[in-house]
A and B are shown apart, each in its own frame.
Chain A
Amino acid sequence: MTPGPIISIRGLEVGALSRHGMLRPLRGIDLDLPHAATTGLVGESGCGKSMTARALLNITPSPMRITAGSITLDDGKTPPVDLAALDPDGAPMRAIRGRRLAMIFQEPMTAFSPVHTIGNQIAEMLLIHEKLDKRAARERSIEMLDLVGMPNARQRFDAHPFNLSGGMRQRAMIAMALACKPEVLVADEPTTALDVTIQAQILELLQRLQQELGMTVLLITHDLGVVARTTSRVAVMYLGQVVEETTTESLFDNPKHPYTQGLLGSVPRLGSRRGRRERLPAMRGSVPPALAELPGCAFHPRCPKAVAGLCDVVKPRMAEVAPGHRARCLLYPEVLAASAALEAA
């Protein structure tokens, strides 16, 4: 028996009322994170990747809150918990956050407090969750720094973030996130702020730790090359929804959704005449703001394959369009059937 997904998100919505109307950054996310594997989450800027990550830890930035849906955390051993139903500041949620679910942020400089040592900030994790005394927490933190390949871990424990290079800071961030050996790690663009050579090292480190610790990882990135190298499954997001979800292989070999096809088409490729990277024509336009309310398929104003009278009317549902390959596009009869049934209901 293969164990079920450790995280399953269903119909997750996040929103807040603003002066200009209802902001809806997440509009019904369905996403499974299979146990001990790396899942990629991709999409253009503003599609809601970071918000999904924050919702998963139940730390949506105020006034944003989870307004619908569920996030089930189920390790197959302890009773499943619906994180979306927990009070974000309550003790049960806080006991899970950091201990069972941890997060790595994009900007390791600003994601650390500038006036506390990194050791202090790593050990805090252990002081909160494992009730270790200061000494034991210090030793464990130094072990963690060692584990993430921090040279001179013992001395670096007392270093401040501004004393470390970008790559070292991100290693410290990883050490902090992994201090309590979480089951699920969310990494929100962990390498975007780093130099290219450092990026590769950090990704390699994450991959190694994922395997050694048997962690489930949600890797958020803009970089489809990173997705291809490090993930086994991928979800593609557009305007607060997942529009395509399958294995990494299937996605790259046979993208079903016109948006994914556009994303893959705008990946920089090697081999242009001057031998340097060149962007193929990117998709026109960008993700609409979280305020936008569009009839029909959210992608239709930008979709090269949009069918007038259908795509701007019927809201597509997610459906399996090939074995193990789900998409949200009305060009596929399975989707059309599921969506029409919904309209009728």
Chain B
Amino acid sequence: MWGFILRRLVWMVPTLIVISIISFIIIQLPPGDYLSSYIARLEALGTTVDQATIDALRLRYGLDDPIWVQYFKWLGNIIFNGNFGYSFEWRLPVSQLIVERLPTTFLVATCSLLFAWSVALPIGIFSAVKQYSWGDYVFTVLGFLGLGIPNFMLALTFLYVSNRYFGLSIGGLFSPNYINAPWSLDKFIDLLSHLWIPVVIVGTAGTAGLIRITRANVLDELRKPYVETARAKGLHPMLLILKYPVRIALNPFVSSMGFILPGMISGEVIVSIVLNLPTTGPLLYAALLSQDTYLAGAFVLMLAVLTVIGVLISDILLAWLDPRIRLS
């Protein structure tokens, strides 16, 4: 097992190097560089920039260096200084922008995931075990409704209903008076009272899909002969289902974990915009729209790295769960 993990870790190094090169190429792809577009903007506003300043800036940012020197500078800054460059749009260091939003992002994403799983798993298992029962049909219909209704619709409906009928403003994660207040019990309660809405909205979207997948996976497993063997032992039906089919039906979920981690950062952009959440999704969206190269580049790199880490975690979990992988 440890050998397996070590091997995977070693393999991550070349993968990450390739990823960083590709990310760098992507952020260099748009014509020009951020300085020339910056100057173009200033000139559009009527400010003239003298050549000496331009040259000084070009030197400072190393824009005249060969491309590979620029790459190593960029990477070196990230690795050794945690410096992802400067956001053109926000006039703030990229790292500061992202780091500010990470805690809330992970909070919303984790809570939504937990919500989706704790709703979807029992329902999916129930629907599989009681296939074609009334309960199964009801959950199937609800599930498809959940799949069919776009999330932003749900978000807008929530906003409208709460505002129109309850006079509440539910956007954001904090009430205005708590946004810059230091942490306190009251602020925490305020957070919870705001948090459940994005969690429910983002969660239900995932729930519908998860229910369908759980149901299908468990159904597949229920038909396997080992279930009959376990039944022939006199095992309690409930324990049987949890110990064998459900346990094995979870493996495919684990293998999809690799995409959950990057999804946390980039996911649910539209809902976050509608609900005005201080998460990374809207930031990524804006960076892509305004060609805020270093910000966008940081995101591309982060998403790729998180995917690699996520896949590693899911492989380790899978190997731990499934001896056929671990031991072969």
Which residues of A are found within 8 Å of B14, using beta-carbon distances? Answer: none
CB of B280, distance to nearest CB on chain A (Å): 37
Which residues of A are found within 8 Å of B322, using beta-carbon distances? Answer: 114-115
| Contact with A112, one of B226, B247, B324 (Cβ below 8 angstroms) | B226
A98 and B321 within 8 A (CB): no
Which residues of B are found within 8 Å of A113, using beta-carbon distances? Answer: 226, 229-230, 244, 248
Which parts of B235-280 form the interface with A (CB within 8 Å)? 235-237, 243-244, 247-248, 251
Given A160-B323, A162-B324, A163-B327, check contact A111 B234 (CB 8 Å): no
CB of A175, distance to nearest CB on chain B (Å): 13
Q: CB-defined interface of A29-57 with B at 8 Å, one 1/0 digit per residue?
A: 00000000000000000000000001001
| Contact with A129, one of B231, B234, B243, B321 (Cβ below 8 angstroms) | B234
A160 and B233 within 8 A (CB): no
**Interface-centre pick from B231, B243, B324, B327 (highest chain A CB count, 10 A):** B231
Which range contains the number of B residues in contact with the other chain?
20 to 34
A57 and B235 within 8 A (CB): no
CA distance A327 to B248 in the complex (A): 47
CA distance A93 to B251 in the complex (A): 32
Q: CB-defined interface of B285-324 with A at 8 Å, one 1/0 digit per residue?
A: 0000000000000000000000000000000000001111
CB of A53, distance to nearest CB on chain B (Å): 9
A-B contact pairs, 8 of them (CB 8 A): A57-B232, A105-B229, A111-B228, A113-B230, A114-B248, A115-B248, A124-B230, A160-B327
B228 and A105 within 8 A (CB): yes
**Does B60 sit within 8 A of A, measured CB to CB?**
no
**What residue of chain B has the Cβ atom nearest to residue A99's Cβ?**
B234
CB of A183, distance to nearest CB on chain B (Å): 14
Which residues of B are found within 8 Å of A117, using beta-carbon distances? Answer: 323
B224 and A95 within 8 A (CB): no
**Does A271 sit within 8 A of B, measured CB to CB?**
no
Q: CB-defined interface of A163-184 with B at 8 Å, one 1/0 digit per residue?
A: 1000000000000100000000
A111 and B229 within 8 A (CB): yes
CB of A22, distance to nearest CB on chain B (Å): 18
Which parts of B195-244 form the interface with A (CB within 8 Å)? 224-226, 228-237, 243-244
| Interface residues on chain A, number (Cβ under 8 Å) | 33
**Does A197 sit within 8 A of B, measured CB to CB?**
no
CA distance A160 to B323 in the complex (A): 8
**What residue of chain A has the Cβ atom nearest to residue B322's Cβ?**
A115
Given A113-B244, A115-B324, check contact A89 B228 (CB 8 Å): no
CB of B200, distance to nearest CB on chain A (Å): 34
Which parts of A254-303 form the interface with B (CB within 8 Å)? none
A59 and B228 within 8 A (CB): yes
Which residues of B are found within 8 Å of A110, using beta-carbon distances? Answer: 224-226
**What residue of chain B has the Cβ atom nearest to residue A107's Cβ?**
B225
Which residues of B are found within 8 Å of A114, using beta-carbon distances? Answer: 226, 248, 322-324
Which residues of B are found within 8 Å of A102, using beta-carbon distances? Answer: 232
**Does A209 sit within 8 A of B, measured CB to CB?**
no
B323 and A98 within 8 A (CB): no
**What residue of chain B has the Cβ atom nearest to residue A109's Cβ?**
B225
Which residues of B are found within 8 Å of A95, using beta-carbon distances? Answer: 234
CA distance A129 to B234 in the complex (A): 8
CA distance A112 to B324 in the complex (A): 13
CA distance A102 to B237 in the complex (A): 17
**Does A150 sit within 8 A of B, measured CB to CB?**
no
A97 and B234 within 8 A (CB): yes
| Contact with A61, one of B228, B233, B321 (Cβ below 8 angstroms) | B228
Which residues of A are found within 8 Å of B248, using beta-carbon distances? Answer: 113-115
Which residues of A are found within 8 Å of B226, using beta-carbon distances? Answer: 110-114
| Contact with B231, one of A59, A115, A160 (Cβ below 8 angstroms) | A59
**Does A125 sit within 8 A of B, measured CB to CB?**
yes
| Contact with B225, one of A105, A124, A129 (Cβ below 8 angstroms) | A105
B233 and A98 within 8 A (CB): yes
Given A160-B323, A162-B324, A163-B327, check contact A112 B233 (CB 8 Å): no
Which residues of B are found within 8 Å of A125, using beta-carbon distances? Answer: 233
**Does A103 sit within 8 A of B, measured CB to CB?**
yes
> 20 more A-B contacts (CB under 8 A) besides A61-B228, A111-B226?
A54-B228, A57-B232, A89-B237, A94-B234, A94-B235, A96-B234, A97-B231, A97-B232, A98-B234, A103-B229, A105-B232, A110-B226, A114-B322, A114-B323, A115-B251, A115-B323, A117-B323, A125-B233, A128-B235, A160-B327
CB of A62, distance to nearest CB on chain B (Å): 9
CA distance A110 to B230 in the complex (A): 12
CA distance A67 to B146 in the complex (A): 41
Which residues of B are found within 8 Å of A162, using beta-carbon distances? Answer: 323-324, 328
**What residue of chain B has the Cβ atom nearest to residue A61's Cβ?**
B228
CA distance A115 to B322 in the complex (A): 6
Which residues of A are found within 8 Å of B237, using beta-carbon distances? Answer: 89
CB of A163, distance to nearest CB on chain B (Å): 7
CA distance A3 to B322 in the complex (A): 49
CB of B316, distance to nearest CB on chain A (Å): 16
CB of A162, distance to nearest CB on chain B (Å): 6
A112 and B229 within 8 A (CB): yes
Which residues of A are found within 8 Å of B236, using beta-carbon distances? Answer: 94
Which residues of A are found within 8 Å of B323, using beta-carbon distances? Answer: 114-115, 117, 160, 162
CB of A64, distance to nearest CB on chain B (Å): 12
CB of B235, distance to nearest CB on chain A (Å): 6
CA distance A96 to B233 in the complex (A): 9
**Interface-centre pick from B228, B236, B237 (highest chain A CB count, 10 A):** B228
Given A113-B244, A114-B324, A115-B247, check contact A128 B233 (CB 8 Å): yes
Given A111-B228, A115-B321, check contact A124 B233 (CB 8 Å): yes
CA distance A162 to B235 in the complex (A): 23
CB of A117, distance to nearest CB on chain B (Å): 8
Q: Please list the 3 inter-chain residue pairs (A to B) with the smallest Cβ-Cβ separation, ordered nearest first.
A: A98-B234, A97-B234, A94-B234
CB of B180, distance to nearest CB on chain A (Å): 51
CA distance A112 to B226 in the complex (A): 5
CA distance A40 to B266 in the complex (A): 64
CA distance A301 to B224 in the complex (A): 35
CA distance A97 to B251 in the complex (A): 30
